[in-house]
Amino acid sequence: MKRLRGRRSDRRSERPARLIEPIPIANHGAQDGLAAQHQQLDRFVEEIALALERGDQPRADEVMRWFCSALEAHFTVEEEIVFAAVVGLDPTKEDAFRELREEHAHFRLHLPQVGRAIETRDPRVGLEVLERFAEQLRAHERREEQLLRTRG
Ligand SMILES: [Fe+2]
Ligand SMILES: [Fe+2]
């Protein structure tokens, strides 16, 4: 016991304890899991764009439904599990993750417009609206992956 107490005080004198120690979230798979889901979402967007380019409306509509379903599931996993866990363990990230949640609300609001643009059956309109949405989504995904890589 004496030895342990001695060791602890030695360590304290080496460097001051941090209030929040770095938490290796990435080592527990959260970052990899989200990155894999981001890639899946990107593949859906590419497949919709390809279907529109070749005039395959039924395929574009079908993959758009998959994309909507996957995106909502992904947002739910992030908000209820990943963001909640990261902020719970490291409250200094609260503001950054609040912004990401607000962006989810923006995407949820605009997703039906993308669906309507795809259903107009004018591939140029569908492609333009889809690409604008996808660009914003990719920027959002990059920020999430960066935040999960950054230690507190
Ligand atoms: Fe997100
Ligand atoms: Fe995400």
- The angle that helices 94-119 and 123-149 make with each other, rounded to 10 degrees, is 160
- pLDDT (tens digit per residue) in 78-98: 999 999 988 888 888 899 999
Tell which residue, 114, 120, 144, has the closest CA to residue 132. 114
- pLDDT (tens digit per residue) in 56-82: 999 999 999 999 999 999 999 999 999
CA of 149 to the centre of ligand 2 (A): 13
Backbone phi and psi for residue 46, each to the nearest 5 degrees, phi listed first: -60, -40
CA of 137 to the centre of ligand 2 (A): 8
Tell me what pLDDT residue 25 has. 54
pLDDT confidence of 135, banded at 50, 70, 90? very high
87-125: b or e for each residue (b if 16 or more CB lie within 10 Å)?
beebeebeebbeebeebbeebeeebeebbebbeeeebee
Tell me what pLDDT residue 126 has. 95
Mean pLDDT of 23-49: 81
Token output for 62 = 């079908």
CA of 91 to the centre of ligand 1 (A): 18
Question: Higher-confidence residue: 151 or 128?
Answer: 128
Ligand index nearest the alpha carbon of residue 41:
2
CA of 53 to the centre of ligand 2 (A): 27
- pLDDT (tens digit per residue) in 38-48: 999 999 999 99
CATH 3.30.2320.30 fits 29-149, yes or no: no
Q: What proportion of the chain, given as a percentage, has pLDDT over 90? A: 64
CA of 66 to the centre of ligand 1 (A): 17
Count of other CB atoms within 10 angstroms of residue 39? 10
| Domain residue limits, the chain | 29-149
pLDDT confidence of 27, banded at 50, 70, 90? very low
> Please, what is the end-to-end C-alpha distance for the chain in angstroms?
32
CA of 14 to the centre of ligand 1 (A): 40
CA of 138 to the centre of ligand 1 (A): 10
